[in-house]
Each structure stands twice: as C-alpha cells, then as structure tokens.
Amino acid sequence: MKASTAVNPKPERGCFITLEGIEGAGKSTHIAQLATLLSSLGLRVVTTREPGGSPIAERIRALLLDSANTGMDETAELLLMFAARAEHLRTTIRPALESGAWVLCDRFTDATYAYQGGGRGLSSERIGLLETLVQGDLRPDLTLLFDLAPALGLARARGRGAADRFESETLHFFEAVRAVYLERAHASPGRYCLIDAAAPLSVVGEQAGRALRALVETRRSESADASDGGAAM
C-alpha cells in the first residue's frame, strides 16, 4: 500500500488591520471590541500594539515612552521605532498572518509618518527607506483612523494619570501629527476608514464595526470566486 502523499494546503493569508490616531482617540478601547466582532464571525484574531508586541519590542517601547528620556535624538527615536517593528513583524505579525489569523494592531507605520514625520519634522523619504527595509511590501489591508481634535484627545489622555513622553508633547506637536494622518488618509482612501472619534463610544464602535464587516464580506467573496475559478479549471 502506497503511503499518502497528500499535503495540507497552506492556509489563506489573514488580514492585517491597523488602528491609528492621536492620544485619547479611543483605539485601545475599541480594539478588544473589534476582536470580539471578528471572532463572532468565525475568524481567528491576534491583537497587538506598537511600539511593542513582542518581548524585545516591549523593552524598546519602555525606552520610547519613558518621560525621563526627554532629550532623545529624533533620529534615534525613529530608529528605535523601526527596531521594535522589525522584531514585532518577525515574532508576531508575519507568523500570525501566514497562519491565517486576522491581526488587529494598535498603531503601525502610519504612526511613524505622523509622529516622527509630522511631529518631529523628519522627512518622509527617510521614513520610507526604513519602511521598505523593515517591512518589504507588507502594508495594512485596512487602517481605521480614529480622528479627534488634539485638544480633546490630550484632555482625555492626561485625565488617565501621569503622562508618558509623547503625551507630554505640546498641542502644536499633536496638530502636526493629526495633519499628517489626515493627509495620508486622503491620499489612500481605499485603505483608510476615517472615524469620528469625538462621537459617543457606541457610534464610534458602530463605524469601526461596519468597516470590518465590509472587509470580511469582501475577503469571503474573493475567496469564493477563487474557489469557483479553481473548480472550473
């Protein structure tokens, strides 16, 4: 009797969804709810965050957020962000996507363009070089941008307790961050979903949930079409 040569098919790649926005916009509040929604739709979900998301990346996060590190060089900050991202991608994001999981990430490279580009004034060209080096062609499938006036966001964030190194920045800094976020959203409307984070929590959750359901429906429709095409061959 011949041994079976059947090979388990490689799982379909999962979707990579990022949540972006300034401090106080509500990303962390909604990520757990969105994970529950995706799970209820029969999907395996991994939630993570940046900077951080892996043991080494979390140690880098502590350096970046420590309010004692006020004199950090802007380029050093940028390089630390991408060092953490490289570890995060290697240990968490890429393996999850390759296994078929849907990844929900609290901030990703759009935040680097907004914070280190807009806030710190570093060039988008420099950030883009590091983005390509660290990520290759990996980009989010969907980005939920929780948009909020910086004054309101800072009031919310600082009401939570002691401010970290970024939360201690000026209103002008966060206005520049928000401006870059909005520029990127307007430049890539197919990837971004702009959410009014000043709305009541339930309304914000509904906006984000609709965007995720639409993505799930699109992916399932594409998978069904691909299966039908393969069966017809």
Looking from the CA of 232 toward its CB, the CA atoms found within 13 Å total 6
23 is in an annotated binding site: yes
CA 17 to chain centre: 6
Are the beta carbons of 81 and 116 closer than 8 angstroms?
A: yes
Cβ neighbors of 1 (< 8 A, separation 6 or more) are none
| Residue 194, strand partner residues | 145
221 is in an annotated binding site: no
96 is in an annotated binding site: no
167 is in an annotated binding site: no
22 is in an annotated binding site: yes
Separation between Cα atoms, residue 211 and residue 38, nearest integer Å: 11
Are the beta carbons of 108 and 20 closer than 8 angstroms?
A: yes
185 is in an annotated binding site: no
Q: Residue 93: name the closest of 10, 39, 18, 11 by CA.
A: 18
Separation between Cα atoms, residue 150 and residue 158, nearest integer Å: 12
21 is in an annotated binding site: yes
Q: Residue 158: name the closest of 149, 147, 169 by CA.
A: 169
How wide is the angle at C-alpha 208 spanned by C-alphas 51 and 16, nearest 5°? 45
What residue numbers does the annotated binding site for ATP cover?
Answer: 21-28
What residue numbers does the annotated binding site cover?
Answer: 21-28
